[in-house]
Amino acid sequence: MYSLNQIPFFQELADSETILLAGAGGGFDIYSGIPLYFSLVNQGKKVILANYSFTWLSNTTSEKICPFCYQIRSGDGSFAQQDYVPGYFPEKYLHQWFAIQGHDVDIYAFERTGVKPLRDAYKFLIKKHNIDTVILVDGGTDSLMFGDEEGLGTPHEDICSMAAVYRSGIKKQFLLSIGFGVDHFHGVSHYRFLENVAEMAREGGYLGLFQLTKEMAEAEKYLDAIQYVNKRMDANQSIVSNSIASALEGHYGDYHRTPRTAGSELWINPLMTIYWAFDLRQVVRKIKYYDAVKDTQTMGEFSGKLGEYRGGLNWEEIRLKRQMPI
């Protein structure tokens, strides 16, 4: 049983000792876990970090520790001109930032691959560090799209990570989503997001929410990390992270913290700083195309299987976008 004066998600972590905190969707998702990292460390937990990467890791000086998984160091360099996103290496700058904070953190990055190889990489890290809990963090809300919504956003990396962790066999596995509203740019209906949260609540998979405010030490760390990486990746600043940071700073509406959003209309809002927490197993069981993608070897194969599922839906099976009636 849960109690009103405690957050169910943290009650679930009470006896966790070694936690793998991983960015689900690539790029900067792991940055959304920075506040949680400091909270968990302050609770006496050991925390290992990982991220699904958009960097061409095989063309960096990072150490390959198992297929599709690399250990990241502050001085790693990249020699690739064909990165999925050119010039992208946020994991390296995160390691540098943690070193400045005086934290010797193990940080790993996964290559952009399919579910089965990613599952094996997760299993390797779980065994290597004797991990008892995995927490995936998604910057945005499209990780809670079940597949029959009109707009899915950009779910490929999120669902690949979720399916991989689900198939790793680890007992304690969770999903956190932060950045409510940011995925409107990618066609996600937040009416459908809340509908899916309600479904998770009915079935016992929703573990409550908690929120960052700028007065929290953990939030101050997050803002500092975003400022640090912004200066070093000025051409590839994260839209999601900077939107969450803008909300933390108290901005509202069409406010642009990064030039990457110039020409678009944003809705920066206080709900962006909320973490929504879920039992990952319960969420994955709702992904309608899970069986189609669970054995994929590459991201290309994953995309093809998702496309086949979507192409086979009848119009009446699709839950259309709706505006929230408020």
Q: What is the CATH number of the domain that holds 129?
A: 3.40.50
Residue 261 in any domain: the answer is no
pTM: 0.96
Mean pLDDT of 43-65: 96
Q: Is 253 inside a domain boundary?
A: no
- Domain residues for the domain of 167 are 13-237+274-317
What total of structural domains would you count in the chain? 1
C-beta pairs of 35-40 under 8 Å, 24+ apart in sequence: 35/212, 35/216, 35/218, 35/219, 35/221, 35/222, 36/135, 36/137, 36/176, 36/218, 36/275, 37/105, 38/217, 38/218, 38/221, 39/218, 40/13
Residue 31 lies in a domain: yes
Residue 42 lies in a domain: yes
Q: What mean pLDDT is reported for the chain?
A: 94
pLDDT at position 79 over 80? no
pLDDT over 80 at 83, yes or no: no
Residues 304, 309, 311: CA angle, nearest 5 degrees: 90
| Tokens representing residue 133 in the block | 């809990």
Greater confidence (264 vs 79) lies with: 264
pLDDT, position 86: 54
Mean pLDDT of 27-44: 97
Rounded (10°) CA dihedral 197, 319, 27, 61 = 110
How many Å separate Cα 181 from the centre of its chain? Answer: 15
Task: Tell me if 281 is assigned to some domain.
Answer: yes
Is the pLDDT at 6 greater than 70, yes or no?
A: yes
Q: Is the pLDDT of residue 80 over 80?
A: no
267 within a domain of the structure (yes/no): no
pLDDT of amino acid 184: 81
pLDDT band at 297 (very low <50, low <70, confident <90, very high): very high
Band the pLDDT of 260: cuts 50, 70, 90. confident
Examine residue 264 and state whether it is found in any structural domain, yes or no.
no
Confidence of residue 84 (pLDDT cuts 50, 70, 90): low
Percent of all residues in the chain with a pLDDT value above 70, rounded to a whole number: 98
- Asked if the structure places residue 296 within a domain, the reply is yes
Per-residue DSSP letters for 281-322?
Answer: HHHHTT-TTHHHHTT--SHHHHHHHHHHHHHT--GGGSB---
CA 27, CA 140: separation in Å to the nearest integer? 12
Q: Among 102-111, 174-183, 232-241, where is mean pLDDT lowest?
A: 232-241
pLDDT band at 81 (very low <50, low <70, confident <90, very high): low
Largest CA-CA distance found in the chain, in angstroms, rounded? 55
Amino acid at 92: K
Give the three-state DSSP class for 25.
coil
- DSSP symbols for 154-182: S-HHHHHHHHHHHHH--SEEEEEEE-TTG
**Confidence band (pLDDT; 50, 70, 90) for 183?**
confident
Residue 103: pLDDT over 90: yes
Top-confidence residue, 148 or 184: 148
Q: Is the pLDDT of residue 269 over 90?
A: yes
The average pLDDT across 210-238 equals 95
Residue with tokens 């994929």: 296
pLDDT in tens, 185-221: 778 999 999 999 999 999 999 999 999 999 999 999 9
Tell which residue, 249, 187, 185, has the closest CA to residue 212. 249
With contact defined as beta carbons under 8 Å apart, do 257 and 272 qualify? no
